Homo-oligomer: A and B are copies of this chain.
């Protein structure tokens, strides 16, 4: 299954990096942690980082009802939501052929305020568990006042494209004779030892880092 490229999501430069396959896009979105949401106010674009979660063909994100960003987004303005995973630095023999290994997804569309109480709660659970798997079931859930202060938005995955670069650098033929190291320096994001807040009750264990699968150290 593929996302249908539109005039706006057709990758023009480096077409071979374009990905429209739904499963591949979902995998990037599910591995990602934060997104950058772009929207326009009085012709000025703003780009704001936030966390999110995916369910099928919907992305959810949230924020304070009082926030300017959420207020603007809730009116259904045009948005662009971008998720970028950095996989490594690509070091070529020439400055020009340096590059990055990355996987990015760009979603265009209009967000919808989630009003249905059940869908709102589900979205908050998904967002919480996307960041910290299993967390929702451990914590004190939101009360009515907290829910009233929270804006939940849904963005459909309709107009979507991804771009992926992987593998070694590609140098000009004549540069391979140069005594310059070339290859990839991989990048990884890790979680490290949890720091409690000093008020945790006796006998309550910290989260096992194995829960953060995508952030756990691979063999270096």
Contact = CB atoms under 8 A, between A and B. Distances in A.
Interface in A31-46: 33-34, 36-40, 43-46
A218 B169 CA distance: 29
A128 B38 contact: no
Nearest to A191: B185
Contacts of A168: 195, 197-198
B89 A131 contact: yes
A15 interface: no
How big is the A interface, by class?
35 or more
A95 B80 CA distance: 27
Q: Please report whether the interface of chain A is mostly helix, strand, loop or mixed according to DSSP.
A: mixed
A106 to B, nearest CB: 7
A36 B36 contact: yes
Nearest 10 interchain pairs by C-beta? A168-B197, A38-B47, A183-B196, A38-B45, A38-B38, A36-B36, A47-B82, A96-B146, A49-B84, A94-B140
11 contacts: A12-B67, A38-B47, A45-B80, A95-B140, A96-B143, A96-B150, A98-B131, A132-B185, A168-B195, A168-B197, A186-B191
Given A13-B64, A185-B207, 11 more contacts: A40-B43, A92-B139, A95-B140, A98-B132, A98-B139, A177-B201, A181-B196, A182-B200, A183-B194, A184-B195, A190-B190
